[in-house]
Structures are given as structure tokens and as C-alpha cells.
Amino acid sequence: MLIWRLGSCLVSPLNPCYHARALMAMMAVAQFQMLGLLNRISLAGLAALSCALLAAAPVGHAQTADAELNHTPYVERQAVQKFIARMVSEHRFERTPLVSLLSGITPQHKALESLSRPVEKTWEWHEYRRLFVKPERVAAGLDFWRLHYGHLAHAQCRFGIPPEIVLAILGIESRYGQYKGRYPVFDTLVTLAFDAPRRSGFFRKELEHYLLLVREQHFDPTALRGSYAGAMGYGQFISSSYRHYAIDFDGDEVADLFDNPVDAIGSIANYLAENGWRRDDVLVAVPATVDVGADLSLANSSLRPVKTVATLARAGFRSSVDLPPGSKATPLRYQLKEGEEYWLGLHNFHTISTYNPSRLYSMAVLQLAQEIRAARSAEAAGR
């Protein structure tokens, strides 16, 4: 176990040549074990020995693998050929232009790196909140509300989504349109679809949706920019969501999420409504207290509320406000800088999580929305 941990510390997961070197280093250290010499070497000495072996090991075979991974043209890969054939047969794309398009791809290695360490997976709540729920974003949300008051009111009337929820999503996703991403979406999706070690199937489906989207909307497939995961526009919609939920909300017969904030407002509201938002549910999540001896394994076990409030109370999670005993909730734990806090997520909390399946994201949306609403109320009271 010690050897494998040392090896894993010395290996870059994105560089196959290091994997080959590490394997040879670990084999060499194993020989020391068999010779009975390992117990004479300190941990520091063992780490130094591993590093030396790692640096000195021949890497010819690994360099070949690295070259195949990074430099083989996508159009020459069997998986890409199958993808092209399916787009031609199922969606009637012309093969020659599609091959030409895929021949100009620049692999987006930084997107692969970012995908492997999203902040929702690596940050604690107090770090995540500090990034997204801050005065500048609240002030920008208030400005956006003033500018688009009528369209936000229309979205609430039509879809039942409070303006502050739409504003919070816009604020977190793109800073109200100020930052929509710098990655070339097509190149990024191709890279993730055929080079990502995980979720490649998901990204191939998104690549398929992207090609259909640009054909339907008459976009230049090479011109669009977005996030490291291929999300686009004001609301950072992935391609499938753009096709399914984007709407023309200002009557110009175009659903434009790149340059039209009105369409973005309507599309985010439409997305939440289609994914189950209940317009009559005032509460999204409520603070909770935890009894001594509570079943803490229930916390963060699900984003979907599956247990009743009464059941959770018996398990030691008690709502800070009166909720119907038969209503459903999910217990949530958040790490503060010092200590923890607990919440009960309700139905609309889960609906927010369909936008981004992270308890950190959903809580950030809720708390940013609350602060924007409070600022709006204070402004109205001061008039």
C-alpha cells in the first residue's frame, strides 16, 4: 500500500509517460522488498529512491502512447469515424463538410484538466459561497433587475419563477452576461467526447446536439465560445438544454442566449418550470437543527427530497420553521470556516439542482437570490 501511494503521488494522471515510469519505479522498489532491503530505508529515502527511478526510467513506449493520445487527428480515430457515420445516417449530415470540420480541431487540454477538478467537487461551502454570494454580484443583480423589470415580471407571471431566482442563476453562471466563457465550444466538445476518461458518452451526445443546434439556428459551429464543459451564453446552457428549453421571449423569432438577455430570462424560467418548479411553494430550503445522536449519514445523501419531515424529525433533523409533517425534504450539511450548518432542502431546491447537480450550487443560488431580494426591498422602502 505504501508503494502504491508513493507512486500515485509522483504520477500526473494526464501524462501516460509518467504512468509507465511510475510502474517501472514501483517494480524496482518491489525488488528491494524481495531482497529484504526496504526495512533499512526511511520513508524519506524511499520517496527519494522512487523519484530517482521515476526520472531515470526509459519512456519510449509511453511517449508513443502520449503522441497517440494528443496528436492523432480526430478524423483518423475509429470512434470519430463511427460518430460521423451516425450523424450522416441518422441526421442526414453531409459527410465531406463534417469531415472537414472535424479536421480542424484543436484539442482543448485545459478543458480536460478543469473537468477533472470542478469547484463543486473540491471546495468547501464557505469557499464556494465567498466566490458567488458577494456584494458585487448582488449589486449587479439589482442593476439587471432595474433594467429588465418588465421581462422578469413577465417570466414570473408565465412560468411562476421569482425574479430573484432567475437573477441568481444569471449572476452565478455568467455574471449577468459579462463572462460567457472563452473555450471554443466545438473544439471543446470534440475533445471531451473523444479524450475524456470519464463521461465521454455524455459529451458525445452533447456534441451531437451541438451539431444539430448550429444547423437549426444557422450558427457558425467554429465561432461559438463557452465554458470548459461546452456550456453557452447568459445562462450557460449545454447544447441539449439549449435545444430543449431555449425560447424566443421578445418576439423576434430567434432564441438567442448569446446576446439577448431577454431570451435568457425567459429560457431560464422555462427550464425551471419544465423541470418541476412549484410556483406556490414559497420555501426552497430552511435551516435545521440536529439532535444529539441524529443519523448524520442521511445528510447530503440525496438532492431529491425523499423522506417526510416527520421521518427526518425522528432521525434527528428538525426544521427551524413549521412544515407539514407529510411534506418531503432532504437533509443537507454545509462546512463553514468553523463548524457546520444544516438545512432541509425542499422540492424547489431539487429543481434548482437539475440546473447543476450540486448542493453547493443550489444553496448559492438560493442565498444570492435572497440577498438580491433583500436589496430590492430595501431600495423600494427607501424611495
Query: Catalytic residues, which ones?
Result: 173
CA distances from 27 to 33, 34, 35, 57 (A): 10, 11, 13, 11
- What are the b/e assignments for 266-301, b being 16+ CB within 10 Å? bbbbbbbbeeebeeeeebbbbebebeeebebebbee
3-state secondary structure of 107: coil
Distance CA 171, CA 369 (A): 9
CB 264 within 8 A of CB 236: no
CB 104 within 8 A of CB 223: no
CB 138 within 8 A of CB 172: no
CB 75 within 8 A of CB 81: yes
Instruction: Copy the grid coordinates of residue 59.
Output: 519512456
Distance CA 185, CA 194 (A): 14
The DSSP-derived string for 169-181 is HHHHHHTTTT---
Distance CA 307, CA 327 (A): 8
CB 337 within 8 A of CB 129: no
